[in-house]
Amino acid sequence: MNLKLEQSTINNQQSKIQISGSKSESNRILLLQAFYPKIEIENLSNSDDSQVMSEALTTSSHIIDVHHAGTAMRFLTAYFSIQNGREVVLTGSDRMKERPIKILVDALRTLGADIRYMESEGFPPLKINGKSLTQNKVTLKANVSSQYISALLLIAPKLENGLELTLEGKITSVPYIHMTLSLLKEVGIETSFIENIIKVSPKSSISNQKLIIESDWSSSSYFYSILALSEVGTKITLSSYKEHSLQGDSVLAKIYQQFGVTTTFFNNRIKIQKRANINQKTFIEIDLSNAPDIAQTIAVTCFALGLECYLKGLHTLKIKETNRLLALKIEIEKLGGEVSITEDSLSLKASKVIKSQVAIDTYNDHRMAMAFAPLALRTSLIINAAEVVSKSYPGFWTDLKNIGFQISE
């Protein structure tokens, strides 16, 4: 489904949006719920990735396909490694078969897991023979993906002696590790994270409890971008959010102040408002190693505002749903921008033109579709394969229509 977005403006009257639960928190809590059925969940993510996670944890199938869901692939690799006596094949989309998993598999093997590669060494699909793991200490590289670390931490309380992880190298996407530890703590599991050593104590059962998932901050990023491109005075209310979030992407509230957008927290909601236009000479420089999922949103905001920017700490972007650095360069250049990329950064020149009627390719990446959509406040454009958004935000196009975007097939 290719969608045509006509040049639009925001309707200030209708701008209240309910965003569903964080997919990162949801996929962690679903796994914990499989271990501890006394957990009740509220505001679970309606994303495809959480749907996939939930089904994988309840099916008795031998072959489990997680499609494009990175967290599901990594968390379930750890989960099935400790399902004593069960054998599963864990597979995914063609892209998933290119997303590395060796660091996690090596760590699980050190703990005693029986995991075999079925196609290429170091990549899914995997054949996993569940066992009781006996070891409790492992060292792993922490500079490629934090998901490997979270996967190990999530199974840690179910290991006989808990787990001690030693992290090597510069730790990437750190807030996601803290999110995992905070959720373990919330259900009553003891953890510590001192320098580069994380310890988790074993816990066989927990008491009844309800976990309320905060809405997804990464999904809110597209509204921050929309506000940054809107007239001064425009506002949108999003729910349900907390001032002290477990999600690193909540740094958006601070980042978008640079684009003249302010955030006010009230009654589990945020009001985001465009307060001032930004000076065209502003140079934006941001390190996103703690918040990689909002890089595409910010790059497109800068392009649309005609700002020069330098985004760094982007070393994980090339192993996500697509090579996001390359995809950003190609698509922004189609629109008339000038982008250069390195292994871990993106530089955008200030640009005065935005070509109209350009068809944006989305590369099976939800965030490509959603990051480029706010450009409809400047010009008309087409988003190819727009259904990709369902990976994290199935209601995205409906929500945009409700705030005034003119969208047709």
Ligand X SMILES: C=C(OP(=O)(O)O)C(=O)O
Q: How far apart are CA 283 and CA 403, in angstroms?
A: 30
Does residue 293 have an active-site annotation?
A: yes
From candidates 46, 367, 369, 383, binder to ligand X by CB under 6 A: 367
Tell me the C-alpha to C-alpha distance, in Å, between residue 368 and each of 2, 127, 162, 387, 388. 13, 32, 39, 11, 9
Cβ proximity to ligand S3P: between 172 and 322 the closer is 172
Among 146, 215, 221, 245, binds ligand S3P (CB under 6 A): 146
Q: Should residue 69 be labelled a site residue for ligand X when binding is judged by CB under 6 A? A: yes
Cis status, amide bond into 37, omega within 30 of 0: no
147 binds ligand S3P (CB under 6 A): yes
Report, in Å, the least distance between residue 316 CB and ligand X: 8
Question: Site for ligand X (CB under 6 A): how many residues?
Answer: 9
Catalytic residue among 48, 216, 293, 361: 293
CA distance 120 to 363: 22
Partner interacting with residue 313 (select from ligand S3P, ligand X, none; CB below 5-8 Å by kind): none
Strand locations in 38-132 (E): 39-42, 63-65, 87-91, 114-117, 126-129
**Binding piece for ligand S3P, criterion CB under 6 A, among 168-176, 251-259, 262-270, 297-305:** 168-176
Phi, psi at 87, each rounded to 5°: -110, 130
The widest CA-to-CA distance across the chain, in whole angstroms, is 63
**Considering beta carbons, is residue 21 or 292 the nearer one to ligand S3P?**
292
User: Residue 103 carries which side chain, given as an amino acid letter?
Assistant: I
Our finding on whether 70 is near ligand X (CB under 6 A) is yes
Nearer to ligand X, 20 or 71 (CB): 71
Determine which residue in the list 43, 51, 273, 316 makes contact with ligand S3P, applying CB under 6 A: 316
The reply to whether 86 sits in an annotated binding site is: no
Residue 293 lies near ligand X (rule: CB under 6 A): yes
- Whether residue 146 is annotated as binding a ligand: the answer is yes
Task: Please state the closest distance from residue 320 (CB atom) to ligand S3P, in A.
Answer: 6
In what side-by-side order are the strands of the sheet with 63-65?
A: 63-65, 87-91, 126-129, 114-117
For residue 225, say whether it is annotated as part of any ligand binding site.
no
Please name the residues in contact with 56: beta carbons below 8 A apart, sequence gap of 6 or more: 64, 66, 72, 76
Q: Kindly tell me which residue out of 51, 71, 136, 297 binds ligand X, with binding defined by CB under 6 A.
A: 71
Q: Determine the residue type at 57.
A: L
Residues 101 and 152: beta-carbon distance below 8 Å: no
Interacting residues with ligand X between 318 and 347 (CB under 6 A): 320-321
Q: Binding marks (x or -) toward ligand S3P, 103..142, rule CB under 6 A?
A: ----------------------------------------
* One of 92, 157, 292, 313 touching ligand S3P (CB under 6 A): 292
> Is 391 labelled a binding residue?
yes
Of 26, 50, 71, 221, which one interacts with ligand S3P (CB under 6 A)? 71
Please return the burial class of 9, using the count of CB atoms within 10 Å of its CB with bins 0-12, 13-18 and 19+: middle
Q: Which of 335, 372, 337 is nearest to 3 (CA)?
A: 372
Q: How far apart are CA 253 and CA 267, in angstroms?
A: 17
Q: Give the strand pairing for 3-6 and 16-18.
A: unpaired
First to last CA, the chain: 7
Q: Does 220 bind ligand S3P (CB under 6 A)?
A: no
Pick out residues in 374-393 that bind ligand S3P (CB under 6 A): none
Among 117-125, 169-177, 347-355, 383-391, the segment contacting ligand S3P (CB under 6 A): 169-177
Interface stretch with ligand X, choices 62-70, 239-247, 258-266, 278-286 (CB under 6 A): 62-70
Q: Record the tokens describing residue 286, joined without a space.
A: 């941001």
Decide: is 392 part of the binding site for ligand X (CB under 6 A): yes
Subset of residues 11 to 40 that bind ligand S3P, contact rule: CB under 6 A: 24
**Does 114 show up as a binding residue in the annotation?**
no
Residue 146 partner contact from ligand X, ligand S3P, none using kind-dependent CB cut-offs of 5 to 8 Å:
ligand S3P
Q: Give the CA radius of gyration of the chain.
A: 21
Q: Which two tokens stand for residue 377?
A: 């406040």
Q: Determine whether the annotation assigns residue 106 to a binding site.
A: no
- How would you class 408 by CB atoms within 10 Å of its CB: exposed for 0-12, middle for 13-18, buried for 19 or more? exposed
Binding site for ligand S3P (CB under 6 A): 24, 71, 145-147, 150, 172-173, 176, 292-293, 316
Residues annotated as catalytic (active site), given as ranges: 293
Binding site for ligand X (CB under 6 A): 68-71, 293, 320-321, 367, 392
